[in-house]
Structure 1
Amino acid sequence: MNETYDVAVVGAGAAGLQAAQTLGRMNRPTVVLGTDRYRNDPATAMHNFLGHDGTPPAELRTAARADLEHYASVDLVEAEVTTIEATDHGFTLHTSVGDVAVRRVVLAMGVADTLPDVPGLADLWGDLVAHCPYCHGHEFTGQHVGLLGADASLPLRAAMLERIASHRVVLTDGVELDADVADTLKRMGVEVRTEPVTGVGPAGGSLEVLLDGAAPVPLGGLFVHTTWAPTAPFAEQLGLDRSPVGAIIVDALGRTSRPGVYAAGDIAQQAGLPMPMAAVLVAAAAGMAAAASADRELAAEDNGIALPM
């Protein structure tokens, strides 16, 4: 690994690899620093990605890495970044294989999910258990589909499944629903089960939800709300503005509140949106925008050209 690059891309998922390709096509000296841990590893296939519907996530990353071999200005380094600090000339990244100095940083390290504390849920996560109907809902077409939780978003989440599921059931895990939420679900024809959930397990190619004191509920698929957190503390280290849900706030070009730092992928949230747009295709597009923004600013800086805001 060289000691100095123009840009460091932190993270080697869809956002980071697309950022690297964009920078490589501009012959911009770039290092991609990543590990072998990815948010969508549990998923057998990714969906709702033009030309790649049903492709295993690892295959997309392998193809993207192969593409990067055509660009001599890009180095891919398997390394974990521990700290990023600002310097007089840019940034220094402290990694598991040494330090690297750069002028710009693209943060694309992603987030990690924490599932509800239900036995067996993690074993089915990514296929029969999911959190995004746009990514995994179609595969449950014509089946009984469950929603685990008791929050105010349930009516909208259930409505999104209206054309997919033959039957919808909310499993509140012992929590009483708000009266307005319960009334709305009843009007929509959504079944509600309030018994405590004791576990989830496979059942003949589908799954079943085990309830305390009641018969199991057979389902074709189950949607859950996860809690997530960044996989690294770089936003705190760099003093970046974050949204109420913890994502790094960016503009349409991927720029953060700190000049020289960009963010893309599941960790980034455009101002005005309620949450990050967590999808592989969106992450890749955001990586391209952030990389182009970084390259454009460096080109202007090196030639004394003022850029419009």
Structure 2
Amino acid sequence: MSEIRDALVVGGGPAGLQAALTLGRIHRSTTLVDSGSYRNAQVDHMHNVATHDGRPPAEFRAQARAQLDEYDVVIREATVQTIEGDVVGGFTATLDDGSTVRAKRVVLATGLTDELPDVPGLAELWGTAAAQCPFCHGHEFSDGHLVVLGAAKQMSHAVGLMRGIAGEITVLANGEEVDPEARTVFAALDAAVVEAKVERFERQGDGARVVLSDGSEIDAVGVLLAPTFRQSAPFAAQLNLELLPSGCVEIDDMGRTSVAGVYAGGDLAHRSVFPMPMASVIFALAAGQMAATACSADLLGEEMAAIGAGGH
């Protein structure tokens, strides 16, 4: 029978790397399985991360991985296909190469996959000239003409944040009917509303060109939108984890899921008091550390109970 590790961390983004570091530093044997697929794979530079503002995500991951070498953290370049088991007998993950990893606890950090509106050319701009977070990308759109894709009222928050950053803002309704209340809000924010359907986006230098169904075009410094998302991995279903209305895994304050021995960190999970996860490197790091801390606490509690030291 193969060795059973203290913890299996699934996912090699910020949350998974931080979870592995936290567990490694307290000498918990940990295996980190990284599929090489990341939500921010198309992003040239990450922002709003103290001491790492402007750093390419790949460089950040490489530095974090190098720091794991000092600890009992084994990194596997593979994709986990299935996870089964429980906290009593341990968990077994089957990888795409047919091998398995056994662990007493599992920390999920597999993230989300963004699903963009079906507009030609948008996917090619995603992560550079097209983005979703004003805190992460808003400054790069300073003083230019910004277009916001989608005229739903909830987009007014993004428009409001960008009002003091972009020089001009145009909301693209993309052929959809604009709610009168939303139209009033956008007008109050000095944002124009264009109702024509977007035929396609094109890259224009560092920015984007919008080609509309009425034949007009808009040259923009960037595109801001709110994509939908889905779980990047099937483990929530495989392990029967409770999900929130957002589609994310429900966790408690410490990152514990509804299944004993399984923890989650990063944007695949959030607490029920929040409507959705925060797509942020800083939040992912904090969530990964919290999940690892809970994992450690539960392992320690089990060990202390086994030697009759519980409660001391």
TM-score, structure 2 length as denominator?
0.95
Aligned to 1:142: 143
Map of 2:79 onto structure 1: 80
In 2 relative to 1, CA 299–168 (structure 1 residues): closer, same or farther, beyond 3 Å? same
The match for 2:248 is: 247
1:18 partnered with 2:18: yes
Distance (whole Å) between structure 2 residues aligned to residue 289 and residue 265 of structure 1? 10
User: In 2, are the aligned partners of 1:200 and 1:209 still within 8 Å (CA)?
Assistant: yes
Structure-2 residue corresponding to 1:28: 28
Partner of 2:271: 270
Residue 54 of structure 1 corresponds to: 54
SS in 1 for 2:230: strand
Determine if contact 2:304/2:310 at 8 Å carries over to the other structure: no
What corresponds to 2:178 in structure 1? 177
Is the contact between residue 4 and residue 100 of structure 1 (CA under 8 Å) also seen in structure 2? yes
- Secondary structure class of the residue paired with 1:84: strand
Matched, 1:43 2:43: yes
Aligned: 1:69 with 2:60? no
- The Cα offsets for residues 138-165 of structure 1, whole Å up to 9 and x where unpaired, read as 1111111111013221222211111111
Structure 2: gaps of 5 or more residues: none
SS state at 1:214 partner: coil
Quick one: which amino acid aligns to residue 39 of structure 1? Answer: R
Q: List per-residue Cα deviations over 1:110-160 (Å, max 9, x = no partner).
A: 111111111111111101100111111111111111110132212222111
Quote how far apart the aligned CAs of 1:296 are. Answer: 1.5
Number of the residue aligned with 1:165: 166
The one-letter amino acid paired with 1:243 is: L
Q: Amino acid of the residue matched to residue 78 of structure 1?
A: E
Alpha-carbon distance in 2 for matches of 1:177, 1:90? 53
> Residue in 1 aligned with 2:122?
121
What SS does the aligned partner of 1:40 have? coil
Check 1:259–1:180 CA distance in 2 against 1; reply closer, same or farther (3 A cut).
same
> What is the SS of the residue equivalent to 2:70?
coil
Once the 2 structures are TM-superposed, how far is the Cα of residue 205 of structure 1 from its aligned partner? 2.9
1:204: Cα distance to partner? 3.3
Which letter maps to 1:74?
Answer: V
Secondary structure, aligned partner of 1:137: helix
In structure 1, what is the Cα distance between the partners aligned to 2:147 and 2:185? Answer: 16
TM-fit CA distance, 1:187: 2.2
- Which stretch shifts more, 33-42 or 182-191? 182-191
Once the two structures are overlaid, the 10-residue window that deviates more, 88-97 or 158-167, is 88-97
Shift of 1:188: 2.0
Shift in Å, 1:271: 2.0
Residue range with higher mean Cα deviation, 39-48 or 148-157: 148-157
The aligned residue for residue 294 of structure 1 is 295
Which whole-Å deviations, capped at 9, do the CAs of 1:202-237 have from their partners, x for residues lacking one? Answer: 223321110012320111111112121111111111
Aligned to 2:211: 210
Compare 146-155 and 261-270 and name the one that shifted more: 146-155
For residue 12 of structure 1, report the CA deviation from its aligned partner.
0.6
Query: What percentage of aligned pairs have identical amino acids?
Result: 42
Secondary structure, aligned partner of 1:200: strand
- Amino acid in structure 2 at the alignment position of 1:76: I
Aligned to 1:96: 96
Q: Matched residues in 2 for 1:80 and 1:188: separation?
A: 46
1:253-309: CA deviations, max 9, x gaps?
1111111110001101122001011111110111111111111111121011557xx
**Residue identity in the other structure for 1:56:** P
Residue type of the alignment partner of 1:86: G
- 1:185 Cα shift? 1.1
Q: Identify the range of structure 1 (221-230 vs 16-25) with the bigger mean alpha-carbon deviation.
A: 221-230
How far apart in 2 are the matches of 1:147 and 1:8?
A: 40
Q: CA RMSD in A?
A: 1.4
SS in 2 for 1:202: strand
Letter of the aligned partner of 2:78 in structure 1?
A
Deviation at 1:16, TM superposition (A): 0.4
Deviates more, 1:205-214 or 1:290-299: 205-214
Q: 1: distance between equivalents of 2:251 and 2:267?
A: 12
Q: Which amino acid aligns with 1:268?
A: A
The letter of the residue matching 1:47 is: H
Q: Matched residues in 2 for 1:50 and 1:186: separation?
A: 35
Q: What amino acid is the match of 1:46?
A: M
The answer to whether the 8 A contact 1:11-1:33 is kept is: yes
So what's the TM-score if we normalise by structure 1? 0.96
Runs of 5+ unmatched residues, structure 1 = none
Amino acid at match of 2:10: V
Question: What is the rounded CA distance, in whole Å, between the counterparts of 2:284 and 2:156 in structure 1?
Answer: 27
Using the TM superposition, give the Cα deviation of residue 104 of structure 1 relative to its aligned residue in structure 2, in angstroms.
0.6
